[in-house]
Copies of this chain bind each other. A is one copy, B any other.
Amino acid sequence: MNSHHDDIRAVMWRNDKLYLLDQRLLPHQQKFLAFEKTAAVADAIRDMVVRGAPAIGVTAAYGVVLAARGVYATGPSAWRQAIETELALLAAARPTAVNLCWALERMKRVMEDVQGDPEPILLQEAKLLHEEDIQANRRMGELGAALIERPCSVLTHCNTGSLATGGYGTALGVIRSAFAVGRVEGVFADETRPWLQGARLTAWELVQDQIPVTLLADGAAAWLMSRGKIDWVIVGADRIAANGDAANKIGTYSAAVNARYHGVKLMVVAPLSTIDRSTPDGKAIPIEQRPAIEVLSLAGQPVAAEGAAAWNPSFDVTPAELIDAIVTEKGVVLKPDAARVAALFDAA
């Protein structure tokens, strides 16, 4: 019964190329784009062909493989210097998701010991990183589902499923696991303006899994909580600071404040690679501002009056004190703070 979501892969390596499912076209069109150049991969990350912190990390890892192939073909003796430019392109694609830099660092460490052609060993590492992400998601699914004490409805924001990760999902992985054991009866999904990840992507994944999904305008979430319909808000993260503050898709902070006001619990689900121990707290997380046109238009059509400006931060930061649980593949941090987050790493 859990077979369907295994079929969705947003990031794939096939025939020596990277394939990305173009998420800008979903749910109307399922089209994969093929990549052989690093610069094109960086563009795809920036333009949101692929999005979601873990999926960006996996994509970047494969991007390093393509980079290595290119620079090694050009100059087998000078590839180590030449690849730095390519890696910088990837690193600069989007600023908030730390998984991007984490994946690049991991690939760089493998490069250090390479003799000869770096592509085979880097590809092996990228595939391992990809597979580990899926396994981490499945483990988070189990750990998160265990926190849900009774069959209930949950609210989620943005998309954190197979499309946002190597496969299965972080917050949506928890929802899948909890649904499978009868702890989640239905999902309310914020449509998640301006990019509509909830309406376009999360609903698409859940419909395929036959998990009941009800969309709502982001502004309606507080009213829904006040009706007593929601036990948990379950979301992902793009970067978690050392003290547990969590950056995630714009609108998450509003949901967090409303959850606390209504006695609803908040679960943040993210792999260890999303925790950036070098970022002390949320104030130090860079917040990407995206183009105003995303707010001023809808589905490619202008909606706002000409002459209006727009404020379009892509992320916000939810302070640790509003988070009831951070779920990682290595364990759960309840009531997160700097000490409890550090303890997770010491245990691991």
Contact = CB atoms under 8 A, between A and B. Distances in A.
Interface of A: 27-28, 157, 188-194, 196, 199-200, 203-204, 206-207, 212-224, 226, 250-255, 257-258, 261, 295-296, 298-299, 301-313, 316
Nearest to A287: B223
- Scoring A28, A189, A218, A305 by chain B CB atoms within 10 A of each residue's CB, the highest score goes to A305
Copies in the complex: 2
16 contacts: A191-B304, A192-B219, A193-B218, A196-B298, A196-B303, A199-B295, A199-B304, A199-B308, A203-B308, A215-B311, A217-B250, A218-B219, A219-B251, A223-B254, A223-B313, A223-B316
| Closest CB pairs A-B (n = 6) | A219-B251, A222-B254, A204-B305, A203-B308, A218-B219, A223-B316
A212 B309 contact: yes
B254 A310 contact: no
A223 B306 contact: no
Given A193-B217, A203-B304, A207-B308, 18 more contacts: A190-B219, A193-B218, A199-B296, A200-B305, A203-B305, A204-B305, A214-B308, A215-B304, A215-B309, A216-B312, A218-B218, A219-B251, A220-B251, A220-B316, A223-B250, A224-B311, A299-B303, A301-B301
A251 B254 CA distance: 11
Contacts of A200: 303-305
A221 B254 contact: yes
A300 to B, nearest CB: 8
Contacts of A252: 219
A220 B299 contact: no
B27 A306 contact: yes
A204 B304 CA distance: 7
Nearest to A292: B215
Contacts of A261: 257, 261
Contact of A220 (B196, B212, B307, B313): B313
A42 B230 CA distance: 36
Contacts of A306: 27, 207
A304 B309 CA distance: 27
Contacts of A250: 217, 219-220, 223
Nearest to A301: B299
A275 B42 CA distance: 56
Contacts of A303: 191, 196, 199-200, 299
B299 A299 contact: yes
Contacts of A254: 219-223, 254, 258
